[in-house]
Copies of this chain bind each other. A is one copy, B any other.
């Protein structure tokens, strides 16, 4: 089994700009990527590659100039093994999540908040297609049904937690155990308790 991790370093994590400058956003993105790679390495996945627009130091990379869906769909055609596509901004991902997601036939989707597809597993990637962006969770479920492929939803709070906006960083501080919460704490981020949901603040 193989894993593909799409990664695009240019203008990365722009919606975190209220709390992080461009250099910090890139450092955070690479740190979350490393947490994801660590989880994948300790799972049953045999080999991983980034799917990137340019080489990323320290990681095996498939380089494609195309957008996410086209790049993935070209990769799917060339893979003869089961394949799991894992987003790079899932710092709460653990090896057991990967192992559970990849344990059954057909297609398994771990949804992200707001309709995203955070992890997509395909036993036969040649039969499937990537349709990321928008409500891709629904699109991928519909596609599996149209193709007659059994589809399963993987229900996990930790795999649903992708990091896009400042409030998302709260979950890393509350639940994270990898490199990403350490980096955020080094930068002075801490949780701020009030009446509703916990927020972040930077010292």
B-contacting residues of A (Cβ < 8 Å)?
15, 111-116, 133-135, 137-138, 155-160, 164, 167, 170-171, 174-175, 191, 193-199
Q: Which 7 A-B pairs have the closest CB atoms?
A: A114-B197, A115-B198, A134-B193, A157-B160, A114-B198, A135-B198, A155-B156
Cβ–Cβ < 8 Å partners of A193 in chain B: 115, 134-135
| A112, A155, A158 interface centre (most CB from chain B within 10 Å) | A155
Told that A115-B197, A137-B174, A157-B159 touch, could you supply 18 new A-B pairs with CB distance under 8 A?
A: A114-B170, A114-B197, A114-B198, A114-B199, A115-B170, A115-B174, A115-B191, A134-B194, A134-B195, A134-B198, A135-B174, A135-B193, A135-B198, A138-B174, A155-B156, A156-B157, A157-B160, A164-B196
Task: State whether A135 and B196 are in contact (beta carbons under 8 Å apart), knowing that A156-B157, A174-B115 are contacts in the complex.
Answer: no
| A160, A164, A195 interface centre (most CB from chain B within 10 Å) | A160
Cβ–Cβ < 8 Å partners of A112 in chain B: 197
Cβ–Cβ < 8 Å partners of A134 in chain B: 193-195, 198
Shortest A3–chain B CB gap in Å is 20
Which of B114, B115, B155, B159 touches A158 (beta carbons < 8 Å)?
A: B155
Shortest A40–chain B CB gap in Å is 18
